[in-house]
Structure 1
Amino acid sequence: MYQHALGYLLGKQYHGIKATVNVWAPNIAHKDDFSNSQIWVISDIPNHDLNVIEAGWMVYPGLFGDNSPRLFIYWTNDGFQKSGCYNLLCSGFVQTSNEISVGAAIAEISTYSNSQFNIDLMMYKDPETRNWWLSMDSHMIGYWPSALIRELADHATMIQFGGEVFDSQASGGHTSTQMGSGHFPGEGFGKASFIKNIELVDGENTSIPDLSDIILGAEKPNCYDVTSGYNGIWDNYIFFGGPGNNPQCP
Structure 2
Amino acid sequence: MAPPCGGGRRWMRAVKFTLCLFFLIPMSSVGIRNTNTNFDKKQKLEVQQQLKRLNKPALKTIKSPDGDIIDCVDIKKQPAFDHPLLKNHTIQMRPSSYPEGFLFKESNNISSNSKPIITQRWHLNGSCPEGTIPIRRTKEEDLLRASSVANYGRKKYDMIPNDNPSTHEYATITEEGEGETYYGMNAEINLWNPQVQQSNEFSLAQFWMTGDNNGAIIDTIEAGMMVYFDLHGDYETRLFTYWTNDGYQSGCYNVMCPGFVQIDNRMAFGATFLPYSVYGGTQTSVNLYVFKDNVYGHWWLQVNNKYLMGYWPSSLFSFLSNSAVRVTWGGEVVNQKSGGQHTTTQMGSGHFAEEGPSRASYFQNLKVIDHEQVLRGPRDIHVTVTNPTCYNLLTHNDFFFYGGPGRSLNCP
CA deviations 1:156-177 (Å, max 9, x no partner) are: 1100001011234566111110
Find 1:85's aligned residue among 224, 227, 252. Answer: 252
* 2:267 maps to which of 100, 105, 112: 100
Aligned to 2:200: 32
Q: Whole-Å Cα distance in 2 between the matches of residues 171 and 125 of structure 1?
A: 46
2:143 aligned partner: none
Change (3 A) 1:10 1:202: closer
Counterpart in the other structure of 2:285: 118
User: 8 Å contact 2:210–2:217 — kept in the other structure?
Assistant: no
Q: Indicate the percent of aligned positions where both proteins have the same amino acid.
A: 40
Larger proportion of helix: 2
Instruction: Tell me whether 1:202 sits opposite 2:364 in the alignment.
Output: no
Distance in 1 (CA, whole Å) between partners of 2:373 and 2:379 is 20
- Provide the rounded CA distance (Å) in 2 between the counterparts of 1:96 and 1:183: 37
Give runs of aligned pairs for residues 1-250 of structure 1, distance below 5 A. 1-11=167-177, 12-45=180-213, 50-81=218-249, 83-138=250-305, 139-168=307-336, 172-202=340-370, 206-209=374-377, 211-230=378-397, 236-250=398-412
Q: Judging changes above 3 Å, is the alpha-carbon distance between structure 1 residues 171 and 150 closer, same or farther for their aligned structure 2 residues?
A: farther
AA of the residue aligned to 2:381: I
Could you list the per-position Cα deviations for residues 17-61 of structure 1 after superposition, in whole angstroms to 9, with x for gaps in the alignment?
Answer: 011110000001001211111111011225876111110011112
Q: Please, what is the CA RMSD of the aligned residues?
A: 1.7
Report the TM-score, using the length of structure 2 for normalisation: 0.57
- The 8 Å contact of residues 46 and 79 in structure 1, kept in 2 or not, is answered as no
Counterparts of 1:154 and 1:131 in 2: how far apart (Å)? 9
Query: Judging changes above 3 Å, is the alpha-carbon distance between structure 1 residues 75 and 171 closer, same or farther for their aligned structure 2 residues?
Result: farther
Alignment gaps of 5+ in structure 1: 231-235
C-alpha separation in 2, matches of 1:147 and 1:30: 38
How many residues are paired up? 243
Name which structure has the greater RCO, CA cutoff 8 Å, separation 6+: 1
- Greater percentage in strand: 1
Over residues 184-243 of structure 1, what are the superposed CA-to-partner deviations in whole Å (9 max), with x where a residue is unaligned? 10110111000001011235765213x23122111111111111002xxxxx00111111
- Code of the aligned partner of 2:183: H
SS at match of 2:241: strand
Q: Secondary structure at the match of 2:186?
A: strand
Preserved contact between residue 40 and residue 161 of structure 1 (Cα < 8 Å): yes
Return closer, same or farther for 1:68/1:248 CA change in 2, 3 Å cut-off: same
Q: Deviations over 1:59-94 (max 9, x none)?
A: 11221122221110011111112x111111111111
The structure number with the bigger radius of gyration is: 2
Gaps of 5+ in 2: 1-166
TM-score (ref. length: structure 1): 0.92
The answer as to whether partners of 1:49 and 1:77 remain within 8 angstroms in 2 is no
Task: Provide closer, same or farther for how the CA distance between residues 49 and 244 of structure 1 changes in structure 2, counting only shifts above 3 A.
Answer: closer
